Structure 1
Amino acid sequence: MNTQRHGITIGIERIEGESLLILKATGKLTHEDYQAITPVLESSLQGISAKHMKMLVDITEFSGWELRAAWDDFQLGLKLGFNIEKIAIYGDKNWQELASKIGSWFIAGDMASFGNYQDAIEWLTD
């Protein structure tokens, strides 16, 4: 039996005295994935100071979006973008550098792409 996993996991980690919001995308995301994660994400963010929100997005196991889910992702980014100081995209996708440049148009803070996890963490906590 071949089980296909997909979804978004969320966590908050303390690294070097910083609170980092960690999102990990797995598989091909669906509209239902965003319906499930959006209320959880909004609830989680209430405990983080908006001026200092830093986020690591792990796309190492991400394979894409369904069309409607891509729109959901864009809308979620717009909703949260003004409260984010830094976003590090960590993965090995050939399109992630372009995604970080385009994404930076929609957030108030900085966004960068990394192929190395430790480099991403160091940039976020610098």
Structure 2
Amino acid sequence: MIQILNSDKENVIAARITGTISKKDVEKIHPLIHNIVEKGKQVDFYFEMEDFDGYTLKGFWEDIKADAAHISDYGKMAFVGEKKWQEWTAKATDFFTSSEVRFFELENKEVATQWIKA
């Protein structure tokens, strides 16, 4: 499930991610991305993952399609999590994009919040 969080910065999409992400969850983020891009800004992401298990197949495919369509529109990405595979995912994302990507342990979410706002 994706729960959209309030952000003080207009080009940041902040979300708490728990359980399993479905296609419907990913579709919640599409209009937010388009709104920021239409203003001529890059999209920064803050993803706080707690008890996150991964994606459904359709959710994963929808996320891949959205990323492929907007990869050049993405700026900074903060992945905040509690599991080693989440850190590996952040590193893989950093490798495949020109975005600045960082992983933060869940107990350092304040540091991540400050980094994404800077």
Q: Same fold (TM over 0.5)?
A: yes
TM-score, reference length from structure 1: 0.73
Contact 1:21–1:56 (8 Å) recurs in 2: yes
Aligned length: 116
The correspondence of residues 1-126 of structure 1 with structure 2, limited to 5 A, is 7-14=1-8, 19-35=11-27, 37-46=28-37, 49-51=40-42, 53-115=43-105, 116-126=108-118
Which of the two has greater helix per residue? 2
Contact 1:20–1:55 (8 Å) recurs in 2: yes
Could you tell me which runs of 5 or more consecutive residues in structure 1 were left unpaired when the two chains were aligned: 1-6
Deviation at 1:20, TM superposition (A): 2.5
Pick closer, same or farther for the CA change 1:61–1:21 going to 2, 3 Å.
same
What code does the residue aligned with 1:10 have? I
Contact 2:19–2:51 (8 Å) recurs in 1: yes
TM-score, reference length from structure 2: 0.77
Could you tell me which runs of 5 or more consecutive residues in structure 2 were left unpaired when the two chains were aligned: none
Q: Could you say what the CA RMSD is over the residues aligned between the two structures, in angstroms?
A: 2.4
Q: Percent identity?
A: 22
- Structure 1 segments, 4+ long, off by >6 Å, are none
- Structure number, greater radius of gyration: 1
What code does the residue aligned with 1:30 have? S
Deviates more, 1:18-27 or 1:39-48: 39-48
